[in-house]
Amino acid sequence: MAGPTFRNINVSGIGVETGIGPNQGRLRSMLSTRAEAPQLESTRRSLARLTDEAASRLILQTYLEDEGDGALREITTPSRAELVPDMQLRGIAPQPSLNAQSLTYQQSASNIPIFGGRVVVDIDAHDKTLVSINGRVAPMPDISSVASVSQLQAWKNLVNWSGAKNPPNAPETSPLLTWFLDEGQEKWRLVYHFAAVPFAPPDADSDEGHACVRPSFRSNRAYDYFVDAHNGDVAFWFPSAPGLDIPSPMTGMDCFNVQRQFYGLSGQGGFSLVDPLRNIETYDYTYQDIDQNPAPPFPAGPIVNPTSNMAAASPQAVSAHYHAGLVSDFYNNEMKRSGIDNKGMKLVSVVNVYSSDRNPLPSPQWGNAVWFQGKMWYGEENGVSFAKYLDVIAHELTHGVTESSSNLVYRNIPGALNESYSDIFGVIIANWYPSQPNSIGTWNWKIGAGLGQAGGPIRNFADPAAAGQPDHMNQYRPITRDYGGVHIYSGIHNKAIYKLLTATEHGQPVFPTRELALLLYLTLTRLTQMSDFSDSRRTLKNVAGVYYASTTPADLSTKLGAIDAAFDSVGIT
């Protein structure tokens, strides 16, 4: 008999294959009036009187009860239909593009979170009816929720298992007791989740990191571990991997020797690289070794120039500050996201960084750019700062977006999907300006041009094989290196999205670039920690179905068909 597995939820109720099925009669009465569905006004009026949370919980409750799946019905409490137990509200955010409110829920059991159990319920902003539901839920755990192993013993087991040299005596923060559905062994585990642990597992790659630019000279120095709270075994691991100020216009030459305009802040010492409009700051690490033990202190303040014209004083700082502004504008203005974390976080860039860890280059060279500890860190090679490359910067900052939304784990297929979405937005943002967006026929599909082998790109979005990546699922083989192939198999999903970005019907694009970029962003933020390529396909179709609900049936069919064709072409079912 098969063991427990996650159930995917992709509901929009507009007639697409992932929509509301025949067993979900009550749910149909809760559909948005934007969809073609039976009108039950009493139900709609009842929903309108509820709070956003109460309405979304009632909708989710109804779906789980009507689905006809015994494991899903276990999640509910029929006597309290206004509550979905074991679904903890994590956030409410407006979605103007869908005219909806998005409510994110974390699944739990016995008040213990279920890793990967996450659902986003979109309700109509006006009448609180159902727009869509996307996510994954698991059947209830069937083992004891009481730990048999202490936190301290779990930590000792982890240290012994890792073989770490000079590990800390105790974790910096207490581990979180977590449910982990080990689908490989088809069983539940109650685990201690140790987050951001500063030593590597024994089977981690020594030459791959979260930098993504090229094989990293510096290892991921923090990992998340799951230690079984019943038997003390290490069950799973993955890399952890983002008064009123008046802005002052500034100028300066970037790494391309192009004069850029950007914002800074005027003060007693001059003009600092602080953009108060976008909450962006840029610092100089002065080529200190970030891997020195103890690490050098972080700079006391952002870079300051005596005048508002930096001229050629620091091209690397100008590039980092200017490019951070472009990425910020894209996510803020186009995707309606409030900063990298959607909570207005400060976007910090650090230039002139040196790393001695596994670095074959002489000091002060470090050929990399990374998203690490909620900041962007830039090295340089042969006198060229990696702040020069907008596509690389957009790629890395998108890791911050993923980290604070779907939080796809950085391992195996979920890790490859994580990498792919960073590639997707790296390419989109690099080709967005100055025409916002530029015509698709003019796009450069190469990522990190000149940074790959023999002076080529690190990846080729249009032709992954040209950069040494597989481009079809028939080439997928489970591997252990590169965290299960996160930088290798991302090309398969990349090729599907390339096909979609360039899809045409009667000589015209099937999707306007701006709309498809938004749909991809909405898909990314509705995935879960363990989503795979197929989850991406289903969620994208569901989001597209909602977005184009008011279009003609023929146009909707064309768009959904283009999604199917793109994913079919690379073997993603």
Nearest residue to 212 via CA among 419, 498, 425: 419
Whole-number Å distance between alpha carbons of 451 and 86? 47
Sketch out the chain's domains with CATH numbers.
Answer: 7-137 (no CATH), 151-239 (3.10.450), 244-388 (3.10.170.10), 395-573 (1.10.390.10)
Nearest residue to 461 via CA among 442, 443, 446, 439: 446
Whole-number Å distance between alpha carbons of 473 and 193? 32
pLDDT at 217 over 50: no
Whole-number Å distance between alpha carbons of 426 and 516? 15
Tokens of 410: 């950085």
Contact 232, 291 (CB under 8 A): no
* 203 or 382, which is more confident: 382
Indicate if 399 belongs to the active site.
no
Contact 241, 377 (CB under 8 A): no
Percent of the chain clearing pLDDT 90 (strictly above): 66
User: Which of 193, 210, 395, 487 is flagged as catalytic?
Assistant: 487
Tokens of 372: 């690490």
Indicate if 487 belongs to the active site.
yes
Omega prior to 457 cis, within 30 of 0? no
Q: Express each pLDDT in 259-287 by its tens digit.
A: 999 999 998 789 999 999 899 999 999 99
Quickly count: other Cβ atoms within 10 Å of residue 523's Cβ: 24
User: Which of 67, 208, 380, 396 is flagged as catalytic?
Assistant: 396
pTM of the model: 0.83
**Bridge partners of 10?**
134
Nearest residue to 505 via CA among 554, 463, 460, 568: 554
Tokens of 9: 């939820």
Calculate the CA 237 to chain-centre distance.
Answer: 18
Cα of first residue to Cα of last residue in the chain, in angstroms, is 25
Tokens of 86: 């074991």
Q: What is the H or E stretch that residue 458 is in? A: none
* 105 or 183, which is more confident: 105
pLDDT confidence of residue 264: 95
Helix (H, G, I), strand (E, B) or coil at 442: helix
**Triad 277, 279, 285: Cα angle to 5°:** 135
Strand runs labelled E in 285-389 = 304-305, 347-351, 369-372, 375-378, 380-381, 384-385
Q: What is the H or E stretch that residue 161 is in? A: helix 151-162
What is the band of 209 on the pLDDT scale with cuts at 50, 70, 90? Answer: very low
How are beta strands 112-124 and 130-137 bridged, if at all?
A: antiparallel
* 87 or 484, which is more confident: 484
Residues 6+ apart with CB under 8 A from 21: 67
Phi, psi of 231 (to 5 degrees): -120, -5
Nearest residue to 356 via CA among 416, 292, 409, 286: 292
Tokens of 525: 């933020």
pLDDT confidence of residue 410: 95
What is the band of 166 on the pLDDT scale with cuts at 50, 70, 90? Answer: confident
Q: What is the mean pLDDT of residues 52-72?
A: 81
How are beta strands 130-137 and 7-11 bridged, if at all?
A: antiparallel
Q: What is the mean pLDDT of residues 446-473?
A: 91
Whole-number Å distance between alpha carbons of 355 and 357? 6
pLDDT at 417 over 60: yes
Q: What is the mean pLDDT of residues 444-464?
A: 89
DSSP code at position 330: I
SS (H, E, C) 57-97: HHHHHHHHHHCCCHHHHCCCCHHHCCCCCCEEEEEEEEEHH
pLDDT at 215 over 90: no
Whole-number Å distance between alpha carbons of 313 and 316? 9
Q: What is the mean pLDDT of residues 227-239?
A: 95
Helix (H, G, I), strand (E, B) or coil at 132: strand
CA 339 to each of CA 366, 391, 399, 442, 502: distance values in angstroms, whole numbers, following the listed order: 28, 18, 13, 28, 29
Tokens of 139: 């059947």
Q: Express each pLDDT in 73-99 by its tens digit.
A: 666 554 444 455 688 899 898 888 888
